[in-house]
């Protein structure tokens, strides 16, 4: 019984290209009580591997969080399988704005302590007492209300390339880092303002809304299905789109184009650009924004040092990496010190803290 991948990403990509069939990029999450995550994980892997599905799935006692690449011709069997599982019946599926047959190249189903690294002790509050879910139309109306604070619950490198107009975009590297920072800066508005949150697909807001209600916020709202579901509703219903730029996604595509606005800059030369890449030096692998000109000049690398390393024969590079682990730059997500045009959002949030909410409404 096969319970893990046997093909490399390269081999899988070759098979996908040879098949020449369309695939759909889909995401969903569901908080639920799973008694034995390992058994559930094995069941899901076997069922989805048989359907030729790929993706990144995290399973924990608290539920499931999944990003998937599904063969278009097998969508119905996939949906039927979900509906056969009680707590996943009719679960909301976020269909990607832009499809790519190569968004995922392996099926990774992993058991984790949590489906989302939030740093919270769920036993201390009622995680089911969530904020009010709002659709795209309701969301648009809410954020026009002068009594609303709109907060981006994503990380700095996500909001840098795209966000909703007038949203507060905290300078954070992780979701768990954002929770206390946002609470502290909004502490004087727990009862007087409407707290409206959004994220990529909804899962971060799902937990954050319950946490903030527990912490005393009285009017808490979240965009149902996140940015992905929002834009699909905008297209279907002919609504005004209030998101600008790209929506960052955690797969091989790295982003979905929502509007033609380019609101970020190349981290190496400063020209308008919103294309995230990873440094070609595997010992660095830094995620940063790089324009085509710099990509050619820097040979897909983030620095001259990484260029020199990347020019070495593969076996020599591998020997240099042995026992070293990844550079700490991999965790900086575009804020490494050697990037001259990296965006520093700290002054934005400091200004927000000093001048008050009205500055951003």
343 touches 160 (CB < 8 A)? yes
In CATH, what number does 9-111 get? 3.30.70.100
> Closest Cα partner for 15 from 95, 76, 69?
69
pLDDT at 334: 72
The two tokens of residue 27 are 């995401």
Active site residues: 199
How far, in Å, CA of 145 to CA of 229, rounded?
Answer: 22
**Cβ proximity of 255 and 290 under 8 Å:** no
In the chain (361 residues long), the average pLDDT of successive 10-residue segments reads 77 91 96 95 96 96 96 97 97 91 95 92 88 97 95 95 94 90 89 94 94 94 96 96 96 94 96 96 92 97 95 89 63 78 57 42 39
**Count of C-beta atoms within a 10 Å radius of residue 113:** 10
Could you tell me if 334 and 289 are in contact, meaning their C-beta atoms sit under 8 angstroms apart?
yes
CA atoms within 13 A on the CB side of 182: 29
Angle 106-198-182 (CA atoms, 0-180°, nearest 5)?
110
Cα–Cα distance for residue pair 231/227, rounded to 1 Å: 6
Separation of alpha carbons 123 and 113, rounded Å = 14
The fold of 122-240+345-360 is Oxidized Rhodanese; domain 1 (3.40.250)
Number of H helices, E strands in the chain: 12, 14
Angle at 56 between CA 50 and CA 59, to 5 degrees: 90
208 dihedral zone (left: phi>0; alpha: psi -120 to 50; beta):
alpha
Instruction: Return the pLDDT at 344.
Output: 63
CA angle at 212 for the pair 207 and 215, rounded to the nearest 5°: 130
Q: What is the pLDDT of residue 329?
A: 56
Task: State residue 350's pLDDT score.
Answer: 44
pTM to 2 decimals?
Answer: 0.86
Is-same-fold flag (9-111; 122-240+345-360)?
Answer: no
**Cβ within 8 Å of residue 220, ≥6 positions away:** 131, 132, 195, 197, 209, 212, 213
Q: DSSP readout, 295-359?
A: HHHTTT-SSHHHHHHHTS-HHHHHHHHTTT---GGGGTSS--TT-TT----HHHHHHHHHH-GGG
Q: Where are the domains of the chain?
A: 9-111, 122-240+345-360, 276-331
CB 196 within 8 A of CB 145: no
Q: Report how far residue 289's alpha carbon sits from residue 332's, in angstroms, rounded to the nearest whole number.
A: 12
pLDDT value of residue 203 = 94
């Amino acid at each position: 019984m096969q319970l893990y991948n046997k093909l490399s990403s390269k081999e899988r990509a070759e098979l996908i290209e040879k098949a020449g069939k369309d695939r759909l990029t889909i995401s969903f999450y569901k908080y639920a009580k799973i008694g034995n995550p390992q058994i559930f994980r094995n069941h899901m892997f076997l069922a989805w591997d048989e359907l030729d599905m790929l993706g990144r799935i995290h399973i924990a006692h608290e539920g499931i969080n999944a990003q998937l690449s599904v063969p278009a011709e097998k969508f119905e069997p996939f949906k039927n399988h979900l509906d056969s599982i009680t707590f996943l019946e009719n679960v909301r599926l976020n269909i990607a704005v832009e499809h790519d047959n190569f968004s995922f190249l392996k099926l990774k189903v992993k058991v984790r302590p949590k489906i989302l690294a939030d740093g919270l002790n769920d036993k201390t509050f009622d995680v089911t007492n969530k904020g009010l879910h709002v659709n795209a139309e309701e969301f648009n109306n809410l954020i026009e209300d002068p009594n609303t604070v709109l907060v981006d619950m994503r990380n700095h490198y996500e909001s840098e390339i795209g966000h909703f107009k007038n949203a507060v975009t905290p300078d954070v590297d992780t979701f768990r880092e954002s929770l206390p920072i946002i609470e502290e800066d909004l502490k004087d508005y727990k009862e007087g303002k409407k707290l409206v949150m959004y994220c990529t697909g909804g899962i971060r807001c799902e937990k954050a809304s319950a946490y903030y209600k527990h912490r005393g916020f009285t009017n808490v709202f979240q965009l149902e299905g996140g940015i992905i579901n929002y834009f699909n509703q905008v297209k279907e219903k002919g609504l005004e789109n209030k998101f600008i730029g790209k929506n960052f996604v955690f797969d091989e595509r790295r982003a979905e184009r929502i509007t033609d606005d380019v609101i970020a800059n190349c981290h190496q030369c400063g020209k308008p650009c919103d294309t995230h890449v990873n440094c070609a030096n595997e010992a660095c692998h830094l995620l940063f924004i790089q324009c085509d000109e710099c990509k050619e000049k820097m040979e897909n690398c983030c620095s001259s040092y990484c260029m020199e390393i990347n020019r070495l024969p593969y076996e020599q590079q591998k020997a240099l990496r042995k026992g070293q682990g990844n550079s700490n730059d991999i965790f900086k997500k575009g804020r490494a010190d050697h990037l001259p045009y990296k965006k520093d959002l700290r002054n934005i949030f400091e200004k927000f803290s000093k001048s008050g909410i009205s500055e951003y409404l």
